[in-house]
Amino acid sequence: MKIYNTLTKQKEEFIPLEEGKVKMYVCGPTVYNLIHIGNARPMIVFDTVRRYMEYKGLEVNYVSNFTDVDDKIIKKAMEEGVESEVISERYIEECKKDMEGLNVKPATTHPLATKEIDGMVDMISTLIKKRHAYPAADGTVYYRTRSFKEYGKLSHKNLDDLQGGNRSLLVSGEEQKEDPLDFVLWKPRKAGEPAWHSPWCDGRPGWHIECSVMSRKYLGEEIDIHAGGEDLVFPHHENEIAQSEAANGKTFARYWMHNAFLNIDNKKMSKSAGNFFTVRDISEKYDLQVLRFFMLSAHYRSPLNFSADLMEAAKNGLERIKTAAEKLRELQAKASDGKLTGQEEASLLEAKEFLVKFETAMDDDFNTADAIAAIFELVKFANTNANEESSKPYVDALLKQLTDMADICGLILETKEEILDEDIEALIQERQDARKAKNFARADEIRNQLLSQGIILEDTREGVKWKRA
């Protein structure tokens, strides 16, 4: 199995630190709003990486955090007049619903930044002792960027070039810094903001230190894979390396994986351009399995363009696979329990070649585009070769192979049963009754049940409106 390592800019054979086990950290979202489809790409991509490794018999300890303290969270909390944890807790739950809709497996651990403050204070203290960091007069703690001789090894940037032109590392309070390139590890509290006690001041951590500490706590000082979107390479992941390796005295991560950007109709996604879509927006038009299939239709390191036409093509492509699986299930129900014929045995050997193609594609830096092409070849083969005369063992084997290949990609091939209008109305009434009784857990359960069946609820002043996705 080969992985393209951002650190070395080449594909390398994957050899885990401990045989049979993988320690993998994936940077998760900052939870101040519903996740957008750009957030969804790394979730889907690295969930698929995990699934394939597990299929190959590896035990994956998969850690993906929620950044639950941040300027954007605080700003939204102030706008709503609530505590910042009200915002973060709300959107963590919403994010989990979307992840479930995308069939993204829950991480082994989903740590929260706010629950790991003690570890952050501890690592910052170590960095100060080792002279890699220093506190300023107001209690801000900065990392001495030039103290880490290998700074820039991931992003392949030169410190002198950064100082001369690229100012993306610079933050406020520059006059307190020893060097303009030093970055914040701890910042003093501002009025109305959440804060924690530290030896330097009451305040909160900088963003970069959070992931260094959560990765160390749940995976150890040295890990196999660190992953995220390519926008995190610099400065976030670069800073994580500087902090972790300076504090721990060990290589932080052996392999660095980054997915490319997602564009909308060949333009960068932004709210100002009016082309910003949340996963929830997409769920109102498509089953989220279609979005997952679309994301996997390109190699994860290739820029991906999102458009209505491409989503329709993805919908049709996924439908072809699901229809083939449904046909096999129908044949399975009717087939006799006879033994495999010689011809069927030869046919299954031929079908195994599509699995070989699939695995070859996935072993080559998780090339899901070619892996899906192998699934389509199996679909065509099954449609051509399985019929009413086929034995049950033959149909079983073809269906299992198709289902296994799809499952590695996180694609669910069972077709959802259409829910009747009167059943929807009955569930909506039950939800209303549950809300009146303050049984909000049951109300949320009903909403999620309907969402999983493609029914979108909208609470309005006129009552609850619903529509089919």
Q: How far apart are the C-alpha atoms of 403 and 211, rounded to whole Å?
A: 36
| pLDDT at residue 343, rounded to an integer | 96
Looking at 248-315, which runs of residues are DSSP E strands? Answer: 253-259, 262-264, 267-268, 304-306
| pLDDT at residue 417, rounded to an integer | 67
Instruction: Give me the residues of the chain with pLDDT under 70, please.
Output: 164-174, 416-417, 469
Q: How far apart are the C-alpha atoms of 361 and 39, rounded to whole Å?
A: 25
Between helices 288-296 and 37-55, what is the axis angle to 10°?
Answer: 70
- The pLDDT tens digits for 233-249 are 999 999 999 999 999 99
Q: Burial of 267 by CB count in 10 Å (0-12 exposed, 13-18 middle, 19+ buried)?
A: exposed
- The pLDDT tens digits for 166-205 are 444 444 456 789 999 999 999 999 998 999 999 999 999 9
| pLDDT at residue 174, rounded to an integer | 65
| pLDDT at residue 173, rounded to an integer | 54
Q: Cβ–Cβ contacts within 10 Å for residue 276, how many? A: 14
Query: Cβ(445)–Cβ(430) under 8 Å?
Result: no
Q: How far apart are the C-alpha atoms of 44 and 29, rounded to whole Å?
A: 13
| pLDDT at residue 448, rounded to an integer | 83
